[in-house]
Amino acid sequence: MKKRSLQNERGATMVEFAIIVALLLTIVFGIIEFSVLLYNKHMLTNASREGARAGVVMRVPRLPDTYTMSSGDKVGVKDIVLIYCQQHLVTFGDSGEPLDYDDIDVVPDDRTGAEFGDELVVTVTFDFDFLVLDNLAGLGPITLTAETRMKME
């Protein structure tokens, strides 16, 4: 009799193991992906801070939004933010660049007449796509936003 009851329970162990492993892997990948999301949020904050700092520093002429051939500058505020994001954001192997110029907003646009104490606002937005949780939990892209406000020097 004992032999028969052991044979019946052998398959139950495998089913329990499969359920526990699936749940455990979902939790582990959830922790990893939310950690990457928080890392990317931090990098966006740093990128907007770098761009704002470059834009408020006193120089003649003021740093433009983007590099143009007519300006003597090699980079503008948006270029600094874009380069920082391209070097630091984690995108899980997306084929394109993580950001483009449309994702970066600099207010005011023209700072040629800006005076000491005027405010510069740099806003960066990024759509974070989950790798595993998108398929398992149906989490779509989450829009991350970072904004930095600094006074002109």
State residue 85's pLDDT score: 92
Amino acid at site 116: F
pLDDT cut 70: percent of the chain above it: 84
State residue 111's pLDDT score: 78
pLDDT digits (tens, 9 = 90+) for 26-77: 899 889 999 999 999 999 999 999 999 999 987 877 888 887 655 555 788 9
DSSP state of 130: P
Over residues 105-121, mean pLDDT: 85
CA distance 79 to 51: 8
> Is the pLDDT score of 134 beyond 80?
no
**What is the rounded end-to-end Cα distance, in angstroms, of the chain?**
88
The mean-pLDDT minimum among 2-6, 25-29, 123-127 falls in: 2-6
| pLDDT bucket at 94, cuts 50 / 70 / 90 | low
Over residues 93-102, mean pLDDT: 75
State residue 47's pLDDT score: 96
List the domain boundaries for the chain.
Answer: 2-151
State residue 149's pLDDT score: 95
> Is the pLDDT score of 88 beyond 80?
yes
Closest CA to 151 of 66, 53, 12: 53
The answer to whether 130 and 33 have CB atoms below 8 angstroms apart is yes
CA distance 33 to 41: 12
